[in-house]
Amino acid sequence: MTEKDQSVNNTEEEVNSEENVETQNVDNSQDSVENTDNSEVKEDHLQEDSQEEVQAEDVDPKDEKIQELEKLANDNEEKYLRLYAEFENYKRRIQNENQINKTYQAQGVLTDILPSIDNIERALQIEGDDESFKSLQKGVQMVHESLLRALKDNGLEEIEAEGQEFDPNLHQAVVQDDNPDFKSGEITQELQKGYKLKDRVLRPSMVKVNQ
- Work out the number of other CB atoms within 10 angstroms of the CB of residue 97: 10
Whether 161 has a pLDDT exceeding 60, the answer reads yes
Q: Is the pLDDT of residue 202 over 60?
A: yes
CATH number of 104-208: 2.30.22.10
Percent of the chain with pLDDT strictly greater than 70: 72
d(Cα 118, Cα 205) in Å, to the nearest integer? 12
Quote the pLDDT of residue 65: 83
185: left (phi over 0), alpha (psi -120 to 50) or beta: left
Q: Which helix (H) or strand (E) holds 25?
A: helix 3-58
Q: How high is the pLDDT of residue 102?
A: 80
pLDDT over threshold 80, residue 21: no
